[in-house]
Amino acid sequence: MACMVSFLGISQIPIAEIQANHSLYNGQYVWIEGVITIGAGRLYNVAGTPYLKAYIMDDSGKGLQIFDYALTPYITQLIRGNKVLMFGQITEYQNNLEILPTSYSVVGTGFNLDQYTIQMSIIQALNWQENEGTFIETTGKVLSVSPPNEIGYEVIMEDEITGLDIRIWNYFTNGILPEWWQIQSIVKVKGALGVFNSQANIYPGYPEDVNIQITGLQNRGASEPGCFTLYPNPVKDRAMILIKDDCIIRPTRIEVLDISGRITCIDYTIQDFGIEIFCGHLRPGLYFIKMSSHMDIYIKVFIN
């Protein structure tokens, strides 16, 4: 067995040791310490009761799913880039090894994920037995995109050898929209590697996890979320889009999309101080404002 690390009198188990010895640790309570790669509230089935599905990775180069049937207690602390000391029970569910937290504390913030990102080819990522739970980056070509539903949607990417499923849960909250993906476009994806229906899947949780090259131009998605603001939010009848002075957005098209990705017609006027949009005809619900320029696409979520 690998050596345990002691911190303030607490013996921590490297995640690589746990992953390599499923049967030994299944059902056991352990201490782990690592950095959150996918935070609370980014991945869950919104059609049912929200639950915790997050991922943590430590210096051993391996990751682990964090699971709980409650979500709210974790939202403000299990945030991407936070380092967490956690005590919990190791369990295995449908080939996914996970920790059910009993207690935890944040011991650091603002960690860069570059050192916790493992570069892999698609064929390496398919070996989920070795890499399940690990935060990876891989590149391929978009082969297909499934129709979205209230749970999410699926993208299949491929390289010259084989394919890999990209599974987008909760897309109307995490902002990774179905219309981003174009068949045959080259995509670089970061995410936690998981198992679904006995097949390897990669789970991105944030717009910046998806980098799509479309006809030579980069779709940055929401990688610059501070470039414009929308207020008020929630919206009632009308709202204003304000673009910051130091941003280079020059929108050529403005659209509103519902949670299924359907484009909803809106009227808008461009004024000296911003763009006024009119939403009085929209039904109550969650929507996305999408601004396209010659080079980029920018998206924000709003409630009507």
Domain check: are 100 and 56 in the same one?
yes
Largest interatomic CA distance in the chain: 67
Domain check: are 28 and 82 in the same one?
yes
pLDDT digits (tens, 9 = 90+) for 149-159: 878 899 999 98
Domain check: are 10 and 107 in the same one?
yes
Domain endpoint, select from 78, 112, 146: 112
Mean pLDDT of 217-243: 67
Output the pLDDT for position 155. 94
Mean pLDDT of 114-137: 92
The total number of residues shown for the chain amounts to 304
Mean pLDDT of 179-189: 85
pLDDT digits (tens, 9 = 90+) for 6-50: 444 457 899 999 999 988 999 999 999 999 999 998 887 555 667
Average pLDDT, whole number, for the chain? 82
**Highest-pLDDT range among 187-191, 225-229, 272-276, 297-301:** 187-191
Going by pLDDT thresholds of 50, 70 and 90, the confidence category of residue 225 is very low
Mean pLDDT of 94-108: 92
Domain endpoint, select from 173, 200, 219: 219
145 half-sphere exposure, CB direction, 13 A CA radius:
19
- Distance between CA atoms of 35 and 78, rounded to whole angstroms? 9
Domain check: are 183 and 96 in the same one?
no
Output the pLDDT for position 217. 34
CATH at 22: 2.40.50.140
Q: Are 237 and 155 in contact (CB under 8 A)?
A: no
Mean pLDDT of 254-267: 73
* Phi, psi of 42, deg, nearest 5: -90, -30
Q: Residue 298 pLDDT more than 80?
A: no
Q: Residue 219 pLDDT more than 50?
A: no
- Report which of residues 153 and 214 the model is more confident about: 153
Provide the H-helix boundaries in 48-150.
Answer: 122-125, 128-131
What domain range is 177 assigned to? 117-219
Domain check: are 196 and 262 in the same one?
no
Domain endpoint, select from 219, 252, 270: 219
CATH at 262: 2.60.40.1220
Domain check: are 53 and 81 in the same one?
yes
In the chain, the number of structural domains is: 3
* Phi, psi of 45, deg, nearest 5: -85, 100
